[in-house]
Amino acid sequence: MEAVVATKPVITVAALCGSLRKGSFNRGLLRSAIQICNESINGIKIEYIEIAPLPMLNTDLEVNGTFPPVVEAFRQKIREADSVLFASPEYNYSVTAPLKNAIDWASRPPNVWADKAAAIVSAGGGFGGGLSQYHLRQIGVYIDLHFINKPEFFLNAFQAPSKFDSDGNLIDMATKAKLKEVLLSLQAFTLRLQSKC
């Protein structure tokens, strides 16, 4: 009789980058996260979701309870995801305008962020994006996102250039290992939250 090997269910992760710049180190972190999951973590599927096409939040664009098609498509991607991975650079001690805009669109009733697990990684800023992360955590309280507490991931702007190649791909193995720890923590926390539903 063959032994039955238990496998973890596959969780889907929506990955959002707060920087619109194609060469952004934060975007590079998300590319690396996708690669890490594909190569060495079973049970996680990350989908990068572009926020650049979203119009600025304007409730005049909501007609009879519907949203513009690009907004509805974005909201549907968040709704379908089990958890969220934010790459949040720091602009003026806070999250970026494009990221806040995306968060606000998806929080419009019905709030599609509610009860999802989330994690944050950051590259940039004197504190490595720490202030933007803490502000994002405050926003998460109101929209019912549940962030992992540890490990935290901050990559200082002065260190970042040496960790990436000329194409913006993460090449530093120690940083990749820290990123993998974040992903494993997000996976475990997501499954724990789902088991309580």
Can you list the alpha helix ranges (DSSP code H) found in the chain?
A: 25-40, 69-80, 97-107, 130-143, 160-163, 173-195
* Overall fold of domain 11-52+71-195: Rossmann fold (3.40.50)
Other C-beta atoms lying within 10 Å of the C-beta of residue 11: 19
- Contact present, 148 and 186 (Cβ < 8 Å): yes
Other C-beta atoms lying within 10 Å of the C-beta of residue 8: 12
Every domain of the chain and the residues it spans? 11-52+71-195
- pLDDT tens per residue across all 197 residues of the chain: 555 555 668 999 999 999 999 889 999 999 999 999 999 999 999 999 999 999 999 999 999 889 999 999 999 999 999 999 999 999 998 999 999 999 999 999 999 999 999 999 999 877 778 999 999 999 999 999 999 999 999 998 888 889 999 888 999 999 999 999 999 999 999 999 998 76
